[in-house]
Amino acid sequence: MSRFNWRNNLLMLLSLLLAFALWLYVSNEQNPIREKALTIKLEQTGLEKDHVIMAGMPQSVTVKVQGTRNQLTNLAPADFKAVVNIPVGKTGELTLPVQVNTPNGLRINQVTPEVVNLSIDRITEKEVEVAISLRGAPGQGFIALAPFYQPNIVVARGPSRAIEAIKQATALIDIQGAVADVEQDLQVGVGVSGVTLSPDNVRVVVPIVEMVSAKTVPVVIQVMGSPAAGYRVKNTSSEPVSVQISGQPEILGTINNIQTGHVDITGVVQDITREVSLIVPPGLTVEPGQVRVHVEVEGVEELPTTPLDAEEETGHKNN
């Protein structure tokens, strides 16, 4: 009897195994296990408001998942979430894993890339000077003077490493062929991505004036009056002895020297030094506008009276 039961139990067990194997075969044929690759948008969490990712953050990752045909048929990227968790307050170069959340019943075989190498920096700001460059040349017979502009300082904001390297904000103004002042609103920049300027526009004026010539001429000292009795002027000199005059060529051609204002030496008994302005003809400019004049005086020696002169003087009295 026991032998019969053992044989029956064995037959039942074999039947169950065969049935399970048949079920697996049929299931695999009807709903086989497969692999599918999807491109998932990569997100980040933990990045502070005043920090920025400079490099290393891909837009997406590739995820290979395994599941049955039925599970994979309608699977979409929106069913997954790929995230990089950034430690709070961290800056510099960080290597962080990519974490992928997947629907139940699926197996992740591969994530590419599995880690990301991020470069994180802190946002800072500083004031920088504005520099304006000129492009082109004015019309013939004209020259451009140094530009003036407002504001001359702007605030640069961006990653700290980029901000540290910025020395100035620049703009370019075109003066080609100009015969009058050039006035424009220009956008300034620093040539570094990720950096903003406030304000980012400046008002620029470039004065355009007619070209003038220049030459150097001697200084002529004018004195008036006379030294005290028994004194005379020994020498006059100026520092500098010559000055530069500039103006229209037709006016310059008529000028060979520049005179000082009058130096009054009435009654002087010793050397004098005066700061004296120069007399500038109309239409000219002089550099410098005044000079230092030195006037040297000396005593006049009286000639001694000779006996002959005394006799002649006595004779004149007798007569």
Give Cβ neighbours of residue 132 (< 8 Å, ≥ 6 apart).
Answer: 147, 149, 170, 171, 172, 173, 186, 202, 204
pLDDT score at 74 = 84
Domains 35-113 and 213-299 share a fold: yes
pLDDT score at 301 = 76
pLDDT score at 318 = 47
Give Cβ neighbours of residue 190 (< 8 Å, ≥ 6 apart).
Answer: 128, 156, 166, 168, 169, 170, 197
pLDDT score at 239 = 95
Per-position DSSP letters for 62-80, written without gaps between them:
EEEEEEEHHHHHT--GGG-
Structural class in CATH, domain 35-113 = mainly beta
pLDDT score at 16 = 73
Q: Coil, helix or strand for 228?
A: coil
Could you report the per-residue pLDDT of 16-35, keeping only the tens digit for each? 777 666 555 555 555 567 88
pLDDT score at 1 = 47
CB atoms within 10 A of CB 80: 20
Strand 81-85 relative to strand 33-45: parallel, antiparallel, unpaired? parallel
Q: Coil, helix or strand for 32?
A: coil
Distance from C-alpha of 141 to C-alpha of 98, rounded to nearest angstrom: 68
My answer on whether omega of the bond before 207 falls inside 30° of 0, hence cis, is: no
| Alpha helices in 210-266, H assignment, sequence order | 249-252
CATH superfamily of 213-299: YbbR-like domain (2.170.120.40)
Q: Tens place of pLDDT for every residue, the chain, 319 residues?
A: 455 466 666 667 777 777 666 555 555 555 567 888 999 999 999 999 899 999 999 999 999 998 887 888 888 999 999 999 999 888 999 999 999 998 888 889 999 999 999 999 999 999 999 999 999 999 987 888 899 999 999 999 999 999 999 999 999 999 999 999 999 999 999 999 889 999 999 999 999 987 778 899 999 999 999 999 999 999 999 999 999 998 877 788 889 999 999 999 999 999 999 999 999 988 888 999 999 999 999 998 765 555 555 455 544 544 4
Residue 313 belongs to what H/E stretch?
Answer: helix 307-318
How far, CA to CA in Å, does 70 sit from each of 29, 32, 37, 110, 210?
12, 8, 15, 20, 86
pLDDT score at 51 = 93
Nearest alpha carbon to residue 295 among 205, 231, 210: 231
Predicted TM-score (pTM) above 0.85:
no
Backbone angles phi, psi at 245, to 5 degrees: -115, 145
CATH number for domain 125-210, candidates 2.170.120.40, 1.20.950.20, 3.40.30.10, 3.40.640.10:
2.170.120.40
- Both tokens of residue 278? 């120069």
Question: 126 and 118 in contact (C-beta within 8 Å)?
Answer: no
Length of the chain: 319
Give Cβ neighbours of residue 314 (< 8 Å, ≥ 6 apart).
Answer: none
Domain locations along the chain? 1-30, 35-113, 125-210, 213-299
pLDDT score at 186 = 96
Question: 101 and 85 in contact (C-beta within 8 Å)?
Answer: no
